[in-house]
Amino acid sequence: MSITSALFGHTRRGTPVTAYQMRTSSGACAVILDYGATIQSLCVPGRDGKLVDVVLGYDTLEEYEANDGYLGATIGRFANRIAGGTFFLNGQEYRLAKNDGANHLHGGVCGFDKQLWQGKIEGDGLVFSRTSPDGEEGYPGALEIQVRFTLSEDNTLEIQYDAQADRDTPVNLTNHSYFNLAGRGTVSGHTLQICAERYAEGTADCMPTGRLLEVEGTPFDFRKEKTIGETFEYDHNFVLAGSPAARLCCPETGIVLTVETDLPGMQVYTSNMLGARTGKGGMELGLRSAVCLETQLFPDGMHHYGFSNPFLPAGQKLCTVTRYRFSQTP
């Protein structure tokens, strides 16, 4: 394993941004930016031994600053949506930015994805840390966060999230990588299996209704492997029922992605609202260009009884781990 760093670009304010590269002895590599603690590139071998970049991204920092979509970014303080951009905690109402219609999405206008993190090489991995100050994007309390990335010789990318706040606050951290195991085209022909008996029913604006419905007999039934297809657009939270959480496979390259996590939910998103744009190497992006497998607490959990508790008590340490294991079919 080798880890190197290089200048990726400068922000609009002139601050340098660093790209860190982790590379295994087999050639697999991950490039992670300290801007947004963002996975910019993730190359793993296919069935034929050739490396494939399996995540969407951009070639320049200017594109990351200018575009939405959260490509590869660390998401917080609260991933996914909060209805009405408001919540009550300890008898006080907190008002957040409404950056997704009438709702709050992925931490607000300037969430963790748009922040510059402090990156450092630590042992066999990379650690990105920052302090989200009290009141940032309307959230209570100062929150200390560390995100550790490691890439093992068996082509497993592990992400460990650690957080602690000085006041009670909602916390829901995830990574927003867009996976395309072919490295081009769409994921319509990818097969997907999810260890979930239920999913969170959503409204037209992707807000949970509070009902957790059975997947059986619905387009959400991925208990057995099936193609993602082109007839349905997914942006839904699945209630995970075991490990591994999911298995994504590309018949063309033979690359298999297995997702493992200790979190209770996973948002499956087929880049429905990504919008036409150009990504790395001139790749045209848009609907079904990739699928996101965002491990998380349930969206809008503060408004629905029975959802996972979204609040981190003051002084309590949060630690959660998600692993993305890559292998090949024969």
Q: How many CB atoms lie within 10 A of CB 34?
A: 24
For residue 107, what pLDDT band results from cuts at 50, 70 and 90? very high
pLDDT at residue 74, as a whole number: 98
- CA–CA gap between residue 34 and residue 120 (Å, rounded): 9
Question: Is 10 one of the catalytic residues?
Answer: no
Contacts of 9 (CB under 8 A, 6+ apart): 16, 17, 60, 61, 62
Q: Are 57 and 72 in contact (CB under 8 A)?
A: yes
Catalytic-role residue among 136, 137, 236, 294? 294
pLDDT at residue 118, as a whole number: 98
Question: Is the whole model's pTM more than 0.85, yes or no?
Answer: yes
- CA–CA gap between residue 295 and residue 313 (Å, rounded): 21
Catalytic-role residue among 176, 190, 236, 304? 176
pLDDT at residue 234, as a whole number: 96
For residue 330, what pLDDT band results from cuts at 50, 70 and 90? confident
> What does the pLDDT average to over 108-137?
97
- CA–CA gap between residue 203 and residue 260 (Å, rounded): 28
Q: Are 80 and 104 in contact (CB under 8 A)?
A: no
pLDDT of 64 strictly over 90: yes
> What does the pLDDT average to over 18-45?
97
Q: Are 13 and 31 in contact (CB under 8 A)?
A: no
Q: What percent of the chain has pLDDT over 70?
A: 100
pLDDT of 60 strictly over 90: yes
- CA–CA gap between residue 329 and residue 46 (Å, rounded): 9
pLDDT at residue 231, as a whole number: 86
For residue 157, what pLDDT band results from cuts at 50, 70 and 90? very high
Question: Is 225 one of the catalytic residues?
Answer: no
pLDDT at residue 227, as a whole number: 97
Q: Are 299 and 80 in contact (CB under 8 A)?
A: yes
- CA–CA gap between residue 176 and residue 180 (Å, rounded): 13
Q: Are 313 and 168 in contact (CB under 8 A)?
A: yes
pLDDT at residue 229, as a whole number: 95
Query: Is the omega angle on the peptide bond into residue 244 within 30 degrees of 0, that is, cis?
Result: yes
pLDDT tens digit string along 189-235? 999 999 999 999 999 999 999 999 999 999 999 999 999 999 899 99
- CA–CA gap between residue 244 and residue 300 (Å, rounded): 24
> What does the pLDDT average to over 173-192?
98
pLDDT of 26 strictly over 90: no
pLDDT at residue 298, as a whole number: 98
> What does the pLDDT average to over 87-101?
97
pLDDT of 97 strictly over 90: yes
